[in-house]
Chains A and B, each alone.
Chain A
Amino acid sequence: MKNTACSALLCLAISAFVAPVAADDLVVYSARNEQLIKPLFDAYTKETGVKIKFVTDKEGALLQRLKAEGENTPADMLITVDAGNLWEAAREGSLKPVQSKLLAANIPAHLRDPGNQWFGLSVRARTIFFNNQKVKPAELSTYEDLGNPKWKGRLCLRTSKKVYNQSLVAMMIAEHGEARAEQIVKSWGANLSTDPFPDDTKMLEAIAAGQCDVGIANTYYFGRLIEKKPGLALGIFWPNQKGSGVHVNVSGAGITRHAKHEKEAIKLLEWLSSDKAQNLFADVNLEYPVNPAVKTDPIVAAWGQFKQNSINVSKAGELQTTAVKLMDRAGYR
């Protein structure tokens, strides 16, 4: 009896596991979370009738999966939450160049791959936040200035292990060169009031609570936090406005080299860059749309306009390993 019960359970469970992918379904590997992309894909299915099957995972794992599956991979599109991993995917030969006038028109050149293998779909700015009870905006100027001794014991940073900081430092290396960038990072380290934080939200809360006065974070974490706790003593500041501009990164996508539904995937990509989708893509996470013709979410727009750094974001990937090693040398955990 125990045996039959076991085999019945096995059969039942196995049947629950096999979900065949219909031949016309698009398959997407996404590092962007399910709650952010599902509404988008549902809207696409509603509009065009094309079903999309997707799986979420960390970027590194997805890249390895693509490599291991090789030419028989079911994946048509790869979505990530930063440019560095898109660059790496292109470098590994997992993506395929796409020639599309629409994509070139909708997406500014510095936010997509020069080789057309991947395209940014939303912009996230990594900017300076401060405790507005203790610091006046006039005291702030640039990222580099945060290394000034006047900020000693007043700076908070997120861990160097997170890709957003790696991209920030990579762009700094692109702009200033490795030696100067290392100086800057070391000077930041000297000003830290406490150990680096595991995530931006905790860091922003620490700034508001007074554990430190300034820090660098992604704008959407600020947005989410303020939404939950409107009374927090946090202000947003756009640095480097007289210089190269605010550091930005993209969440983007590319078509896989062995995509089985290339035309359909390109159509999806173009749709994602168009006005209808851009708001869905960006607003749900309080990010900036990559398409300059699309209006930003009012909450996000209220934070003000800013000049963004126009160095191509692929530099973030190209210089990522240099940045990580630099941060290790500088003792930035």
Chain B
Amino acid sequence: MVGGWRLAAFAIALLIVVPLSVVLSSFLSPEREIWNHLAENVLPGLLANTLRLVLGVGIGVTLLGVTLAWLTAACEFPGRKFFSWALLLPLAVPAYVTAFVFVAWLDFTGPVQTLLRASFGSSAWFPGIRSGGGVVLVMTLALYPYVYLLARNAFLTQGRSALEAAQSLGCNRAEGFFRIALPMARPWIMGGLMLALMETLADFGTMAVFNYDTFTTAIYKTWFGLFSLSGASQLASVLVLLVFVLILLEQLSRSRLRYSQAGRPTQSERIRLAGWRGGLASMFAATVLLVGFVLPVAQLVLWSSSVFAQDFDARYLGFLWHSLSLGAIAAGLIVACALVLAYAQRRHTDPWTRIAVRIATLGYAVPGPVLAVGIIIPLAWLDNQLIHLSKAWFGHNPGLLLQGTLLVMLPAYLTRFLAVGYNPVESAMQRITRNLDEAARTFGVSGLQMLRRVHLPMLRGGLFSAAALVFVDVMKEMPITLMTRPFGWDTLAVRIFEMTSEGEWERAALPAVALVLAGLLPIALLVRHTETHR
């Protein structure tokens, strides 16, 4: 029986399959020479680097995100309320900007090493920042908020009954955490981890700052250096297929597990961390915040103050408005689609729906410009067809209609960021026990009504998290925006690109600061919701 939800999910998946297929279709023109060259000369090193990166960032982001989430969700320590939302702030800073700041500080020519050399002589040693370790550090600091936000949602909504039951059976606090709380938060943690890893794999900006060779830098080199988009698309397809397999494996491994909570989660008292424990927790959170947000932003403000007079003009208000409106509209659309997908998966448990949903979220793993090309090719084709029709019916050539409008930008963002909207919503949906659905049906409530009246109120945490993440991600997005925006219409991310592409990083600090400020808006809204909700 083909349900309406399932059709909707398939429709969304189809929309996204089109650009993905364009990328995959590159295999139709095999580039053996390029593959041979890459396999012989660069692939082994690349794969080793990429693996190291994925492991390093995966472990770092999980450790950091989960510990901080547990501290702020289940414990009480000095400054907890502040840190609860402040630890999200690194989301507002693009990773490559943080990367540049770190390299500027810690590289040979930076203030730290210069001071060391002045104090201890020219042979003073300092760990090289432009190394695998440096990349892992920066990516971890930039991406832990994904895991932090989702894990925190998990811990906040799982209630105490299971933990209290465990304690009554003799588990101490640590055991309670590792054996009850952590496994029950698995979908959330995995969801956040997947987002962080997909972004790491597809990232180019940060890798360029460190000149660290990964699979994605090979994709760029094949496209721009070897003039072969099809070679680049083939590499990107391999990347996407790997990510797909990983995600499927993870889903399969928990297909029989249930994470729902019966009844309203009881907010029982927090674990009080007194004395040195509390101090340690505060210092930990403070250090992460300092290193991941406060110090980089302070440096950006310093740099932008020197170019403020020369670069700041009335257009900045326009840039700000463009970034904000684009982010808001995209967030609304993407979260709505994510909800449809999550609900379809809940109601229809057949493998087709599951695969369709998973395919729909793959866009996040494709490097930006490759996905951008994969999107504009079919859309340009559509545009050209419309012109044919118009010439045939009206004898008039209206020019490209779709280009430069929301009708190109929004589907593009949907393809790219659906995963970011989907993971938080799907995890939150897992919390709602199916018994509730059945109970509601006995009251005659079903379909859209059930979604609206029963599920939505319970999903608010997930929906707001999804919206905030998508909002900030769309504002930071560059390659798709560059390729699909209307003429003379820039966002703050585009301004950053204009400066950084010619190596003018200090000038790029000004739009970067503006972007951070703009990003505070969705985070503030998210925080306001979480606070009132608790």
Which residues in A have some Cβ–Cβ distance to B below 8 Å? 6, 9-10, 12-14, 16-19, 21, 27, 33-36, 53-61, 64-65, 68-70, 72-74, 88, 159, 161, 163, 166, 194-202, 205-206, 208-211, 221, 224, 320-321, 324-325, 328-329, 333
Q: Are B227 and A321 touching (Cβ within 8 A)?
A: yes
- Within 8 Å CB of B490, what residues of A? 34
Which residues of A lie under 8 Å from residue B329 when comparing CB positions? 9-10, 13
Chain B interface main SS type: helix
Residues of B contacting A55 in the complex (Cβ-Cβ under 8 angstroms) = 485, 487-488
Cβ–Cβ contact A13 & B406, under 8 A: yes
Contact call B488/A59, Cβ cutoff below 8 A: no
CA distance A74 to B41 in the complex (A): 41
Decide if B383 is an interface residue (CB 8 Å cutoff).
yes
Contact B108 A206 (CB under 8 A): yes
Given A54, A64, A73, A161, which contacts B225 in the complex, CB threshold below 8 Å?
Answer: A161
Chain A residues within an 8 Å CB radius of B409: 17
Contact B498 A198 (CB under 8 A): no
Are the CB atoms of B376 and A199 closer together than 8 Å? no
Q: Mark B31-47, 1 if CB is under 8 A from A, else 0.
A: 00000011001100000
Chain B residues near A211: list those with CB within 8 A: 108-109
Are A58 and B328 neighbours in the complex by a CB distance under 8 Å?
no
Residue contact B486 to A197, C-beta cutoff 8 Å: no
- Give the 3 A-B CB pairs with smallest separation, nearest first: A68-B380, A324-B225, A53-B487
Q: How far is the CA of A324 from the CA of B218 in the complex (A)?
A: 11
Shortest distance between the CB of A43 and any CB in chain B (Å):
17
A53–B488 touching, CB < 8 Å: yes
| In the assembled complex, B255 has its CB within 8 A of some CB on chain A | no
Contacting A54 at CB < 8 Å: which of B210, B227, B405, B487?
B487
Contact A60 B223 (CB under 8 A): yes
Closest to B368 in A: A61
- Cβ-based interface call for B130 (8 A): yes
Q: Is B59 an interface residue (CB 8 A)?
A: no
A56-B498 CB under 8 A given contacts A70-B384, A321-B225, A328-B37: yes
Please report which residues of chain B, range 180-235, place their CB below 8 angstroms from some CB of chain A when the two chains form the complex. Answer: 208-211, 213, 217, 220-221, 223-229
CA distance A189 to B503 in the complex (A): 24
Cβ contact of B486, chosen from A12, A19, A33, A58, cutoff 8 A: A19
> Could you tell me if B220 and A161 are in contact, using CB atoms closer than 8 angstroms?
yes
Q: How near does chain B come to A137, taking the closest CB pair, in angstroms?
A: 23
A19-B122 contact given A33-B501, A325-B37, CB 8 Å threshold:
no
What class of interface size applies to chain B in its complex with A?
35 or more
B503 touches A205 (CB 8 A): no
- Which residue on chain A has the smallest CB distance to residue B482? A57
Interface check B350, CB cutoff 8 A: no
Minimum CB–CB distance from A56 to chain B (whole Å) comes to 7
Is chain A's interface secondary structure helix, strand, loop, or mixed overall?
Answer: helix
Asked if A221 meets B503 with Cβ closer than 8 Å, knowing A19-B488, A61-B369, A68-B380, the reply is: yes
Q: Which stretch, B86-94, B256-264, B396-404, touches the partner chain A?
A: B396-404
Return chain A residues, CB-CB under 8 Å to B41. Answer: 325, 328-329
- Which of A9, A27, A58 is most buried by chain B, counting CB atoms within 10 A of its CB? A58
Q: Mark B398-424, 1 if CB is under 8 A from A, else 0.
A: 011001111001000000000000000
Contact across chains for A195 and B130 when beta carbons are under 8 A apart: yes
Taking A56-B482, A159-B211 as known contacts, 19 extra A-B pairs with beta carbons closer than 8 A to each other, sorted by chain A number, are A13-B326, A13-B329, A14-B405, A17-B409, A19-B404, A57-B482, A65-B380, A68-B376, A74-B400, A88-B227, A161-B220, A163-B224, A198-B209, A198-B211, A201-B505, A206-B108, A320-B227, A321-B226, A328-B38
B384 in contact with A72 (CB, 8 Å)? yes
A35 and B507 CA atoms in complex are apart in Å by 11
List, sorted by A's number, 29 A–B pairs whose CB atoms are closer than 8 Å.
Answer: A13-B329, A14-B405, A14-B406, A17-B489, A19-B404, A19-B489, A34-B490, A35-B499, A56-B494, A56-B498, A65-B483, A72-B399, A74-B399, A74-B400, A161-B217, A161-B220, A166-B225, A194-B108, A197-B211, A210-B122, A211-B109, A321-B228, A324-B225, A324-B226, A325-B41, A325-B226, A328-B42, A333-B211, A333-B213
A residues near B236, Cβ cutoff 8 Å: none
| Interface flag for B8 (CB, 8 Å) | no
Contacting pair A17 B406 (CB below 8 A) = yes
Does B239 have its Cβ within 8 Å of any Cβ on chain A? no
